[in-house]
Homo-oligomer: A and B are copies of this chain.
C-alpha cells in the first residue's frame, strides 16, 4: 500500500499571487501539491507558473501529481444528498484521490428519494469508509450509517436557507446521529473528511512503529 501525502495549501484568504508563489515553491520540491478553496483567479496565476498543474473546477482544487503514488487504498465512497452539495463532495473526492485513495462517487441520493440511495447499496457495501456530505437537515449519514458496516465521516454543508443557519442545522443533526458509526467534521470541510479517511486507511495498513522495530530486529 502507498498513501501519498501531498503538500496542502489553503487558498482561501490568500491572493492569487500568494497561492501561485507558494504552489510553485512546493512544486519545485518534487512532491505532490494541492491547493484547496482555490478560485479561478488563483488557478490562472498558478498555471502561469506551474503549467503541468490541473484545476478541478467543482472541487475548487488545484493539483499537481509528481510522484507515482497510486490510488489503490480504499475504496472510499463519497456521497452527497443534493446537487448543491457537490462542491463539498468533490473537495473530499479529489483530496482523497491525491491522498492515494480510490474513490466511488454516489451523488444526489437525498433521503427524501430513498430508492436512489438504495440502488447504490452494493457500492456502499464495498467501501472501507464512507464520506457523506449533506446540507439542510443533514439526515443522510444516519441512513447510510445503518446500511454499512464501515465508519461514516459526515460533512455538513452550508447548503440551505433560513433555519439551516449556514450548515449549523446539518452539523447538529449529524452529531446526534442515531447511527453509532458516524463521526463529523466541520461545515463544508470536504478536505478534512478525506484526510481522516486516508488516515484510517494508512493507519490500518501501515506497519506500526513497534512492528517495524520487531521486523528490523528479526532481520
Contact = CB atoms under 8 A, between A and B. Distances in A.
Interface of A: 8, 12-13, 81-82, 84, 110-114, 118, 122, 125-126, 128-129, 136-139, 142-143, 145-147, 149-151, 153, 156, 158-189, 191-193, 195-196, 199-206, 208-210
Contacts of A147: 114
Given A203-B151, A208-B128, A183 B184 contact: yes
6 contacts: A111-B146, A125-B208, A150-B200, A161-B187, A161-B188, A164-B176
Given A126-B208, A169-B173, A183 B146 contact: no
Given A112-B146, A169-B173, A188-B162, A200 B204 contact: yes
A97 B5 CA distance: 31
Given A112-B143, A126-B210, A146-B111, A182 B192 contact: yes
